[in-house]
Amino acid sequence: MSIAAQPIDETGNERTPAERRWWLRSLLALIVLVPAALAVMSYEDIRELLRNRDFFAKDVAWGNKARFGGSDWQLTDLRAALGRADIPPEVVPVLVDLTVTVGETDLQSLWLSCRIMLIDGTGRRWLPTAAVSFRQTDDAMTCNSAIFSGAKGGDVLKIRETFLVPKDATATIRPAVGVASERPGFLLFQRPQN
Amino acid sequence: MIQRIANIAVLLLAALLCYGMQTTKPHYADLTAPIPVYGKIGETIQARTFDIAVDKVVFARTLKFDRFGQKKLLTTGGIWAIVTARLDARDRSAMVAAATWQGPDGLNYRASERTSLAAGALPVALDPGVAGRTRLVFEILPSQAADALLLVSGKLAGPLDSEARVALGAVALQADGVPEGTIETYELSDAF
């Protein structure tokens, strides 16, 4: 065999067939190892990203209960609160009432970063507002106050959130609930059918 | 022999290259700095989570301000710059939390904490389709009034998030150094 046809390493020696075989194996292993290393390194970041996003909607029909974050969630009311003089006419305050039957009681971890939203037909999302508030009954709470209410298994919680929504969106808005323990999945309630 | 000299040369070159990369490496805070979106006063600027359009800038020597039913007159060694702007959320509810007045000499003034209880002060919560407004109050040196840049962002520290940068334009100065049209007292009323 001529020298020109044989690959030569940096010390000037010819490669043996065994060395060439290992060289080829190493090269092939890199094709697997480099993507695998990237996947392992970014796994935690991707998981963290998904834990903060409400991606996959789980539809809940009107009147039904859905198991979510260890408890049973049901939409009881979605309505506009009209007749407020301090709010411009093109904006509508919307009240969302949810009834939750507590199952697993560790709400401080199961309901962590609880987010109640309104989602309209074009995908716009509203979070609860602090700009308007309405008189409430004593037992109504927000999702975050419910976490620290010390609720026991079987307790029924009334959760109410207030939103500010433009008039054009009120025809298609649907309430949605997301909690950290269930993300990236979230509950998307059907509108009241009456 | 030549081989050995060549090896040493390659080693030195590599060391030099590494040193060069080390000294020119951008700071982590610069690598993850906010991403600027530029615009002018009057234009609508689209940041990642909100739109902003600056309506006007007013300069005043003192501020009148109703705090807990008590009239306060806020004086300053410099001047007050009051910026009113329209804000809109994009496709989801958003916050606007930070504003900075950047003067022509690169001096940065955060929105004044002395007026943080007035209507329209940051932070402002925005909802999609619901028009929002803000009134930003800065306490600045008169020399920093002209050709200033207003920096507005959603968070106090927003790495890799967009930051609106609004050019506030030229301002003529009077003989005493304050901007032309500076009013004596600006009232921070609830409607603005």
- CB nearest to A124's CB, from B92, B125, B131: B92
Contact A131 B125 (CB under 8 A): yes
* Residue numbers in A near B91 (CB within 8 A): 122-125
Residues in chain A closer than 8 A to B92 (CB atoms): 124-127
pLDDT one-digit tens code per residue, A40-96 = 999 999 988 888 899 999 999 999 999 999 999 999 999 998 878 888 889 999 999
Q: Among A100, A102, A115, which Cα is nearest to A179's?
A: A115
Residue A166 — pLDDT band, cuts 50, 70, 90? Answer: very high
Instruction: For residue range B124-170, list pLDDT tens digits in order.
Output: 999 999 999 999 999 999 999 999 999 999 999 888 999 999 999 99
* A38 pLDDT higher than 90: yes
Asked whether the predicted pLDDT for residue A10 surpasses 70, the reply is no
Task: Measure the CA–CA gap between A171 and A92, rounded to whole angstroms.
Answer: 11
Contact A126 B125 (CB under 8 A): no
Q: Locate the domains of chain A by residue range.
A: 1-52, 56-189
Q: How confident is the model at residue A1 (pLDDT cuts 50, 70, 90)?
A: very low
Question: For residues A48 and A136, which has the higher predicted lDDT (pLDDT)?
Answer: A48
Which of A78-92, A163-177, A180-194 is least confident?
Answer: A78-92
Who among B92, B93, B129 is closest to A169 (CB)? B129
A170 touches chain B (CB under 8 A): no
Q: Work out whether the CA dihedral A8, A9, A11, A16 comes out positive or negative.
A: negative
What is the reported pLDDT for A86?
81
Rounded to an integer, the average pLDDT of A119-143 is 87
Strand partners, A73: A66, A100
Neighbour tally for A81: CB within 10 Å: 14
Least confident of A7-21, B4-18, B165-179: A7-21
Please tell me the class of the A56-189 domain.
mainly beta
Distance from CA of A190 to the nearest CA of B (A): 20
* Predicted local distance difference test score (pLDDT) of residue A26: 95
Distance (Å, rounded) from C-alpha A190 to C-alpha A109?
A: 27
Q: What pLDDT score was predicted for residue A8? A: 58
Average pLDDT, chain A: 89
Predicted pLDDT of residue A28? 96
Count of CB atoms situated within 10 Å of the CB of A25: 10
Q: Is the confidence at residue A167, as pLDDT, over 60? A: yes
The whole-number pLDDT of residue B75 equals 95
Of B91, B125, B131, the CB nearest to A124: B91
Can you give the pLDDT at residue A131?
Answer: 82
CB B45 within 8 A of CB B39: yes
DSSP assignment of chain B: -HHHHHHHHHHHHHHHHHHHHHHHPPPHHHHTPPEEEEEETTSEEE-SSEEEEEEEEEEEEEEEEEETTEEEEE--SSEEEEEEEEEEE-SB-EEE-EEEEE-TTS-EEEPPGGGTTSTTPSPEEE-TTS-EEEEEEEEE-GGGSTT-EEEEESSSS-TTSEEEEEE-----B-TTSSBTT-EEEEEE-S--
The pTM (predicted TM-score) of the whole model is 0.82
Over residues A20-49, mean pLDDT: 94
pLDDT tens across B27-65, in order? 988 899 999 999 999 999 999 999 999 999 999 999 998
